[in-house]
Chains A and B, each alone.
Chain A
Amino acid sequence: MSTLNAAMSASASALSAERTRIEVAVSNMANAESTRSVNGEPYRRRDVVLTSDPVNSFDAALGHASATGVKVAGVVVDQSDFQRRYEPSHPDADADGFVALPNVDQSQEMVDMLGAARAYQANLAAISMIRDLVAKALELGRS
């Protein structure tokens, strides 16, 4: 059962990684209008960087890793330019009347979130398939 166990661990790591992607996309969307953050400038959108992560490092060292999981390497801050909107009455407007808004594109965040949700579903399907396979294999024992 160890091989299927490793496959299940790989899927489980993917579920956690996709959950992080969804969290980051959601916080980007939630802060799409935040003109202030802790360092004084508007909110900057964040991206998740994923990296592959062998489930069993001993197998990986021997060069025959069967299942490779995924883990979050880090959450990086997008350094692209802020959006500018003319709104002189806004308290955070500059001398010309422009307000700097976060570099968040709602439609892009929506696409990221849907992609993460689909990937989450795909890994759930993989886990339920592994479980069904094990259950079927155990049925061999029934006479």
Chain B
Amino acid sequence: MNVTTALSTVAGNVASAATSTAASASDGGSSFDDTLKQLVDGVEGSSEQANTAVTGMLDKSVDVHDAMIALQRAEMSLQLAVQIRNKLVQAYQDIMRMPV
């Protein structure tokens, strides 16, 4: 269990909700879903790289700076994903508050 799995679930739910409501409006809806999945995969990949780098640093096969850079990369992509999730949730809540 990790952060990216939870993030992936939330983002996936929001995206599918968004695409199902927007599906009748346009055909381009599913590509956003794919982009979001790619983003989450990217976060997953970079956190995996950070994991191997830190493990490598502990058994002295990886330099300290390489491990730290991998950690920074993972943190940067996670922050980006979190910001996008925040925006998505915010947009979803704005729409739900809309009086019909």
Chain A residues near B (Cβ < 8 Å): 1, 5, 8, 12, 15-16, 19, 124, 127, 131, 134-135, 138, 141-143
Are B63 and A15 in contact, CB atoms less than 8 angstroms apart?
A: yes
Closest to B46 in A: A5
Asked if A16 meets B79 with Cβ closer than 8 Å, knowing A5-B73, A127-B72, the reply is no
Contacting chain A: which of B1-9, B10-18, B24-32, B82-90?
B82-90
Cα separation A4 to B90 with both chains bound (whole Å): 28
* A/B pair count, beta carbons within 8 Å: 38
**CB of B66 within 8 A of chain A?**
yes
With A16-B63, A19-B63 already in contact, the answer to whether A141 and B76 are too (CB < 8 A) is no
Decide if B90 touches A8 in the complex (CB within 8 Å): no
Q: Contact at A1–B83, with CB atoms within 8 Å? A: no
Shortest beta-carbon distance from A110 to chain B in Å:
23
- The answer to whether A12 and B65 touch (CB under 8 A), given A141-B83, A141-B86, is yes
B58 at the interface (CB under 8 A from A): no
The reply on B69 being an interface residue by CB < 8 A is yes
Q: Nearest CB to that of B84 among chain A residues?
A: A141
For A141, give the chain B residue with the smallest CB separation.
Answer: B83
A-B contacts besides A138-B79, A138-B80, 4 pairs, CB < 8 Å: A16-B63, A124-B65, A134-B76, A141-B84
Complex contact A16–B66 (CB within 8 A): yes
A141 to chain B, nearest CB (A): 4
Which residues on the A side are within 8 Å of B63 (C-beta)? 15-16, 19
Closest CB in chain B relative to A24 CB, distance in Å:
15
Q: Is the CB of B80 within 8 A of A1?
A: yes
Complex A-B: 23 CB contacts under 8 Å: A1-B76, A5-B73, A8-B69, A12-B69, A15-B63, A15-B66, A16-B63, A16-B66, A19-B63, A19-B65, A124-B65, A127-B72, A134-B79, A135-B76, A135-B79, A138-B79, A138-B83, A141-B83, A141-B84, A141-B87, A142-B83, A142-B86, A143-B90
The docked-state distance in angstroms from the alpha carbon of A12 to that of B80 is: 21
The answer to whether A131 touches B76 (Cβ under 8 A) is yes
Measured in the bound complex, the distance between the Cα atoms of B65 and A8 in whole Å is 11
Q: Which chain A residues border B83 with CB–CB below 8 Å? A: 138, 141-142
- Bitwise interface map of B from 47 to 79 toward A, beta carbon under 8 Å scored 1, else 0: 000000000000000010110010011001101
A121 to chain B minimum Cβ distance, whole angstroms, is 11
